[in-house]
Amino acid sequence: MKNVAAIILAAGLGTRMKSSIPKVLHKVHSRPMLELVLNALRKAGIKNKLLVISPETRSVKKAFPYLKVALQPRPLGSGDALRHTKKYFSRFKGDIIVICGDTPLINAERIKSLLAKHRKSRSSCTILTVDTDDPSGYGRIIKDDSGEVLKIVEEKDLPDYERNIKEINVGLYCFNKKDLFEHLKKIKINPKKKEYYLTDIVELLKASKKKVSSVLSDNSDEALGINSKNDLAKANDIMRKKTISKFMEQGVIVTDPDSTFIDTSAKIGKDTVIHRNTIIESGVSIGSFCEIGPFARIRPGTRIDDNAEIGNFVELVRTKIGRGTKAKHMSYLGDAHIGKGVNVGAGTITANFDGKNKNKTVIGDRAFIGVGAILIAPVRIGKGATVGAGSVVTRNKHVPAGKTVVGVPARLLKK
Ligand code: UD1
Ligand code: CA
């Protein structure tokens, strides 16, 4: 998108989070909040981005080293934060999107429609608002009888007669660059909070006869600003439900959406059943007609082919499970390459870590692993081979195809 830049505010102390980690690095659905905000900006086609950090939130720069940053030396409010970005825009002409780094659920379409309305209405400032049943904590939008925005009033400064206003400031704005920097200078310190509120700019723009517009969104979930760990849990829950719903729309059966976590980046085939209390982490790929869980944890680097069954208390990581293979009870399978039609008995463990390295276990098609087997990697179990119940197959052992091993340490069983 041309002649548009974005400023992401992340220099606040985040006091209400009660955390020593900068707020925007806290994770929503396994990703730092800031990453979600950046994704939305990227999807909206905005390339030119500037992040505002403070000495206290410097570690954000380390987590996102490719981002251009401006420093707000002291936490004197959102208005003050923006003043410190002026020099980065000396040659820029156009519109500036300002977004709070703590609104991770904002979606790209909303950013696009805000910019579109801003340009079409030739406004100096366009703000995103939402009607919500619980406006507490947010700045309220004060409009006149004809629906024109007059000002934004922060909760702390709200007179009683305005408390029932349900239209709130989401924290996403679009400004004409020139008007923004001219009017930022005029913001006065808020006497109660001793901060320069960005939101005061609306009244100042109106006073100099500039046009201020608003876009009312119907999605109050998206507006959620994360100020506390309770808000963080709310955001996680919203994202989790939304993601699971998408998987169900694609044909996955989820028996208890409330107790299930599926990462957005996972791929799952049609008619696979995900049973309750199952966690499916990033990048996992699962075929069709599988049964996963209850209580399974499928970690990154795992691929499960069609018709496989992974049951309760089974943890998989960096593991490939072939078509029709079953591991139904209490197993840990890590760095394992398991073929088709294998039966992995209850309690089987791949001992993949020797204290220094992670080693591989290879199990051929149709092998049968008895209950409670321990496979000390690196180790190979041939096609159609059998490992007796309770056996310990030691390092570098290769069980030949079709043969049986038993005991501790496992030895070849002679017919
Ligand atoms: C802010 C808005 C409020 C809106 C709400 C939406 C102001 C004054 N109020 O309130 O109208 O309804 O967001 O979630 O903006 N920041 C800095 N430097 C500072 C202070 C804050 O960069 O010195 C950044 C924060 O990192 C954050 C954003 O500005 O990303 C908003 O600050 P925050 O303290 O969270 O404001 P809210 O009280 O949530
Ligand atoms: Ca906030």
Quick check: 375 and 393 in contact, CB under 8 A?
A: yes
- Domain ranges (residues) in the chain: 4-223, 229-412
pLDDT computed for residue 1 by the predictor? 77
CATH number of 4-223: 3.90.550.10
The phi-psi region of residue 143 (left if phi > 0; otherwise alpha if psi is between -120 and 50; otherwise beta) is beta
Probe target for ligand 1 pocket from 34, 78, 162, with the most ligand atoms within 8 Å of CB: 78
Q: Which residues are registered as beta bridge partners of 415?
A: none
Question: At residue 327, does pLDDT exceed 90?
Answer: yes
pLDDT computed for residue 162 by the predictor? 87
In this prediction the pTM is 0.94
Mean pLDDT within 57-84: 96
- Give, using CA atoms, the residue closest to atom 21 of ligand 1: 12
| Closest to 127 (Cα-Cα) out of 196, 219, 211, 44 | 211
Q: How far is CA 140 from CA 10, 81, 127, 225, in A?
A: 21, 21, 12, 14
Cα(145) to centroid(ligand 1), Å: 28
Tokens of residue 385, six digits: 């081979």
Active site (catalytic) residues: 329
Asked, as a colleague might, if the bond just before 22 is cis with ω within 30 of 0, I would say: no
Question: At residue 343, does pLDDT exceed 90?
Answer: yes
| Closest to 406 (Cα-Cα) out of 395, 394, 390 | 390
pLDDT computed for residue 129 by the predictor? 98
pLDDT computed for residue 240 by the predictor? 97
pLDDT computed for residue 367 by the predictor? 98
pLDDT computed for residue 224 by the predictor? 97
- Which H or E run includes 41? helix 33-43
Summary mean pLDDT of the chain: 97
Quick check: 103 and 175 in contact, CB under 8 A?
A: no
pLDDT class for 2, splitting at 50, 70, 90? Answer: confident
User: Residue 24 CA: which ligand is closest?
Assistant: 1
Quick check: 53 and 71 in contact, CB under 8 A?
A: yes
Question: At residue 415, does pLDDT exceed 90?
Answer: no
Cα(100) to centroid(ligand 1), Å: 6
**Atom of ligand 1 at shortest range from CA of 169:** 12
Quick check: 327 and 312 in contact, CB under 8 A?
A: no
Question: At residue 215, does pLDDT exceed 90?
Answer: yes
pLDDT computed for residue 62 by the predictor? 95
Cα(228) to centroid(ligand 1), Å: 13
Mean pLDDT within 49-78: 96
- Whole-number percent of the chain with pLDDT over 70: 100
Instruction: Given CATH 2.40.50.100, say whether it is the number of domain 229-412.
Output: no
Question: At residue 235, does pLDDT exceed 90?
Answer: yes
Tokens 């925007």 belong to 24
pLDDT computed for residue 374 by the predictor? 98
- Give, using CA atoms, the residue closest to atom 16 of ligand 1: 12
pLDDT class for 32, splitting at 50, 70, 90? Answer: very high
Q: What does the alpha-carbon distance between residue 126 and residue 374 come to, in Å, rounded to a whole number?
A: 63
Tokens of residue 299, six digits: 């970690």
Q: Which residues line ligand 1 (CB under 6 A)?
A: 9-12, 52, 72, 75-78, 80-81, 100-103, 138-139, 152, 154, 168-171, 197-199, 225, 227
pLDDT computed for residue 414 by the predictor? 84
pLDDT class for 283, splitting at 50, 70, 90? Answer: very high
**Atom of ligand 1 at shortest range from CA of 53:** 22
pLDDT computed for residue 186 by the predictor? 98
Backbone φ, ψ for residue 41 (5° rounding):
-65, -40
User: Residue 169 CA: which ligand is closest?
Assistant: 1
Mean pLDDT within 354-375: 98
Mean pLDDT within 352-374: 98
274: CB partners within 8 A, 6+ apart: 247, 252, 253, 254, 255, 260, 262, 268, 280, 292, 293
Cβ of 83: how many Cβ atoms within 10 Å? 18
